[in-house]
Structure 1
Amino acid sequence: MIKDHRKNHREVSLPHGTLHVFANDEVFASLDHKVYEMADNNLRIPRNVHMSYTPDAHVGVGTCIGTTAVWNMSDGFVSPSIVGSDIGCGMRVHLTPLKREDIRDKSLRREMIRMIEKYVPVNERDASHFRDIRVENIVTEGIHGLPSKYVPDHHTPKERRSVTHVEHAKFDFDPSHLDHVPDKIWSRAWQTVGTLGGGNHFIELQAVTVREEKREVAEKWGLFDGQIVVMIHSGSRAWGGMLGPKYTRDFREAMRKWGVGTPDPNLVYAPIDSEQGQRYIHLMYSALNYAVVNRHMIAFGVREGLREVFGSSFEMPVLYDLMHNYALKEFHRNRPMLVHRKGTTRALPPGHFLNPKAYRETGHPALIPGSMGTSSYIMVGEPGGAKNFWSICHGAGRVRSRRATKETVTVDQFAQSLKVGTEEEILVNQRTLESILDECPQAYKDVDQIIDSVVGAGLASVVAELRPLAVVKGV
């Protein structure tokens, strides 16, 4: 049974509970039965407070990407499957003084790409350039654990955007849980700080178009029409990537002993107050620290590369950094709750107490990527977001698997979507488009429909649209 609340919000009654879906008519009609089957499995976890899909929802491992799931801290559950394997994966945007006309020349943009690749490892086999960074410092202290030379504004402690203009510069947890981390994870994590990673991770140079109705907010944030910004998408790399599978196995073993489970063996969970639950939550927070540092260091590398192009005085202050794969203790309805967001982004409205101080008045920027050939968006939360625990989409969301994309989309179609050979070409760093065909725009939903769904549901509004000009992809 479906209860239609209008304004792109429906409640879908499933055998084991209720799923809220935030999508316009076109997107809602496109959701297949598998996403509902996965939601029903998730709802078998006892005492769920809220479960929802944002319009970018699509099938994942154990849980759909695009899921928000909430339990009370007092008697609830934590699920690595509803966090995702790339713990702390998220977005980051940096402002630049450049204007679109400054980099219209394609040869200049190619040089920018080349210099970015010089300072940011984009191939999985390439190790970190920052070998003097101690993993134990960054997983416990976040950005505060970095050597000062890697924090561009360390000399102005009262105006350190590096720590004030991020969702969290440091996640607190009990470091004694680090004793359970195998040596091989420490070793591998040391090699991946400041590296991009493959799949859908990227660095993009984008041009800003401000929405007229949000021009005042945009100006307060430092955005203007034609401005070039740098968008970064990456996560916790080896640290989170290796922790996730390890603790999924631990949860599965504990569930067998407890005699509980679901029809999906990839869906695991444990009580928040259990030994397994507590250990996972604390180590997950260590991965969130690693993730925010990793994006910070990617941005540091981008700045160093662009300084070789535009001179040593070139600066690119951070606009915001936030995550879309995590479970965080938050206060809702006057009680502490554990909010899982797997491929969903927190979008707080103006005045909300959880906003960083820098964005208390306006609400913080919510960073929503599109695909290589389509717009990305910077949004801000609206009061209506309370009905979805302040969660919105995290991107366009895949419409085809990687294999299906390679089987159905041609390289010529991919090239056409990037306007290859024209003055408006979106440049990419890869030597052949075939190597990244599974990340082509045709693999993703129509991002404009996704944004329309979110805006129509009253969850958030658009502050600026960002058009891609150059893309650096990892492989």
Structure 2
Amino acid sequence: MELKPITHGNNHYEMPLEHGNLHVFANAEVFQSFEDKVFEMADNNLRIPRGKHMSYTPDAHVGIGTCIGTTAVWGMIDGFVSPSIVGVDIGCGMRVHTTTLHKEDIQDKEIRRTLIKAIEKYVPTNERTNTNYADIDIMQVVKYGLKGLPELYRSNEQWLTHVEESTFKFDHAYLENLPPKIQKYAHGQLGSLGGGNHFIEIQYLEIAEAHKDLAAKWGLFDGQVVVMIHSGSRAWGARLGQEFTKVFRAVMQSWGVENPDRDLLYAPIESREGQTYLHLMYSALNFAVSNRHMIAYGVQEAFREVFGAETELPVLYDLMHNYALKEFHRNQPMLVHRKGATRALPPGHFLNTAAYKETGHPALIPGSMGTSSYIMVGKDEGAKNFYSICHGAGRARSRKATKALVTVDQFAQSLKVGTDEEILVNHRSLQTILDECPQAYKDVDQIIDSVVGAELADVVATCKPMVAIKGV
């Protein structure tokens, strides 16, 4: 595809494609690395009528039906909803908890190994192992989110307020349309990590000089130990995704709607199928935020086992990067799809949660395994991209290609194995998680440079990994 981008400056390109214009936020090096396929997929997405905006963040890469790293927006009145532009793992997102510990407090490898064992005791990392929260009613959770958890798990009010949403409200009557056996598949998964790129990392912070005051307001300091969690809605969201792939494909065929990509599925927001998907998607968002909450609960129990019963892990923030939300932009209600994109609201924005109304909320951006992650804050200029930034580094190659190209020794070097700065992992063999090595992903520093240069957000703190816990 012959591409002639319009350059707006500040890492902002606009691609005039056959069916509409795609905005791309990336520095020159990252922009040049995009393969033609991502633009072909964008053009297919732009065939969906009446779109208000479509963009890629610098971590964009090929996905199913739509690239991961996409923001796509329609008006609520006459727009469309697309499961393909939400993603398979509905509600997948990030959570960070702070501690009073300093890096030096856990520098000893034996302390970190003890922490790994303790965390695995409370948080299942094997996908076939259920959690022990028999007192949690999944249906209460999918209806009411964090407020549907038993009092024992929501006694800390701060854990309920420092989140993007504690409860995603929807019409519970739509639960009559749930896929068969969804409760069976999701039973026992609340508070479990999942596989793939999901993780728990213990990190320490390096505060950006320009934002020391903001970091202090957020309770962050140089050398501080924090816990970063990446997980989603597990089988609940996966089953909904599978079900609505079939439903939307069938209804598009019945309407005679075609697209060159059969995996790109969509329907009018006001259609029966669109409304059913949206309401049940919110049930998955409730499951996802509750799942990360319960993972964090287990992590706190592990820290208490190692550092004492009085240990507290305040939540910094919890947010998602796979969803579609009704938001008000340009004085009208819009449905903003973010697939592998993170909302980053600036200080004073009315959509901020009360706890972060003044400062803007922490935007949590993970790196790849063994590289830095970032805590950012949105800027007013982010309005040009509906306040969306990257969601991570973004895959550079497939899992199969990674295993063919990267050796275990190269992976071990990335984790500084054998040195005092070694990043400890919970797997005995690095071969089992080789497809999650840094070489599988883009350079996260280039991704962050792209976002900062586009004036979408600023770095408040860099998170350096010390422990990485992955699912199997």
Measured against the shorter chain, the TM-score band is over 0.9
Displacement after TM superposition at 1:182 (Å): 3.1
Q: Secondary structure at the match of 2:51?
A: coil
Q: Are the equivalent residues in 2 in contact too, given 1:134–1:190 (CA < 8 A)? A: no
The correspondence for 2:351, drawn from 351, 354, 358, is 354
Question: Does residue 389 in structure 1 map to residue 386 in structure 2?
Answer: yes
The correspondence for 1:120, drawn from 119, 123, 129, is 123
Q: Secondary structure at the match of 2:303?
A: helix
Question: Does residue 259 in structure 1 map to residue 256 in structure 2?
Answer: yes
1:318 aligns with: 315
1:129 aligns with: 132
- AA matched with 1:14: L
Q: Are the equivalent residues in 1 in contact too, given 2:179–2:239 (CA < 8 A)? A: no
The correspondence for 1:57, drawn from 20, 43, 60, is 60
Rounded Cα–Cα distance in structure 2 between residues aligned with 1:252 and 1:183: 19
The correspondence for 1:17, drawn from 15, 20, 38, is 20
Rounded Cα–Cα distance in structure 2 between residues aligned with 1:353 and 1:161: 20
Rounded Cα–Cα distance in structure 2 between residues aligned with 1:94 and 1:306: 12
Question: Does residue 111 in structure 1 map to residue 114 in structure 2?
Answer: yes
Rounded Cα–Cα distance in structure 1 between residues aligned with 2:180 and 2:120: 30
- AA matched with 2:139: E
Q: Secondary structure at the match of 2:295?
A: helix
1:156 aligns with: none
Question: Does residue 241 in structure 1 map to residue 238 in structure 2?
Answer: yes
| Aligned structure 1 segments of 4 or more residues deviating by more than 3 angstroms | none
Q: Show CA shifts across 1:326-353 (max 9, x none).
A: 0000000000000000000000000000
Rounded Cα–Cα distance in structure 2 between residues aligned with 1:432 and 1:130: 30
- AA matched with 2:342: T
Identity %: 68
Q: Show CA shifts across 1:226-251 (max 9, x none).
A: 00000000000010011101011100
Rounded Cα–Cα distance in structure 1 between residues aligned with 2:131 and 2:14: 46
Rounded Cα–Cα distance in structure 2 between residues aligned with 1:279 and 1:351: 34
Q: Are the equivalent residues in 1 in contact too, given 2:75–2:334 (CA < 8 A)? A: yes
The correspondence for 1:88, drawn from 79, 88, 91, is 91
- AA matched with 1:39: A
Rounded Cα–Cα distance in structure 1 between residues aligned with 2:139 and 2:195: 24
Rounded Cα–Cα distance in structure 2 between residues aligned with 1:421 and 1:246: 47
1:78 aligns with: 81
Rounded Cα–Cα distance in structure 2 between residues aligned with 1:367 and 1:422: 28
1:157 aligns with: none
2:44 aligns with: 41
2:170 aligns with: 173
TM-score, scaled relative to structure 1: 0.98
Q: Are the equivalent residues in 1 in contact too, given 2:179–2:243 (CA < 8 A)? A: no
Displacement after TM superposition at 1:152 (Å): 4.2
Rounded Cα–Cα distance in structure 1 between residues aligned with 2:132 and 2:415: 31
Q: Secondary structure at the match of 1:49?
A: strand
Q: Show CA shifts across 1:166-202 (max 9, x none).
A: 0000000000110111341011112211000000000
Question: Does residue 269 in structure 1 map to residue 266 in structure 2?
Answer: yes
1:100 aligns with: 103
Q: Secondary structure at the match of 1:257?
A: helix
Question: Does residue 433 in structure 1 map to residue 436 in structure 2?
Answer: no
Q: Secondary structure at the match of 2:369?
A: coil
Q: Secondary structure at the match of 1:207?
A: strand
Q: Secondary structure at the match of 1:407?
A: helix
The correspondence for 1:450, drawn from 447, 452, 456, is 447
Structure 1 unaligned blocks of 5 or more: 154-159
Rounded Cα–Cα distance in structure 1 between residues aligned with 2:14 and 2:391: 21
How large is the Cα RMSD of the aligned pairs? 0.6
2:467 aligns with: 470
2:160 aligns with: 163
Aligned length: 469
Q: Are the equivalent residues in 2 in contact too, given 1:429–1:471 (CA < 8 A)? A: yes
2:71 aligns with: 68
1:302 aligns with: 299
Structure 2 unaligned blocks of 5 or more: none
Displacement after TM superposition at 1:139 (Å): 0.4
The correspondence for 1:219, drawn from 216, 219, 236, is 216
2:371 aligns with: 374
- AA matched with 2:240: L
Rounded Cα–Cα distance in structure 2 between residues aligned with 1:77 and 1:152: 39
Q: Are the equivalent residues in 2 in contact too, given 1:185–1:242 (CA < 8 A)? A: yes
Q: Secondary structure at the match of 2:435?
A: helix
Q: Are the equivalent residues in 2 in contact too, given 1:261–1:268 (CA < 8 A)? A: no
Displacement after TM superposition at 1:162 (Å): 1.4
1:365 aligns with: 362
Rounded Cα–Cα distance in structure 2 between residues aligned with 1:266 and 1:279: 19
Displacement after TM superposition at 1:2 (Å): 1.2
Q: Are the equivalent residues in 1 in contact too, given 2:208–2:462 (CA < 8 A)? A: yes
Question: Does residue 31 in structure 1 map to residue 34 in structure 2?
Answer: yes
2:407 aligns with: 410
TM-score, scaled relative to structure 2: 0.99
Displacement after TM superposition at 1:420 (Å): 0.3
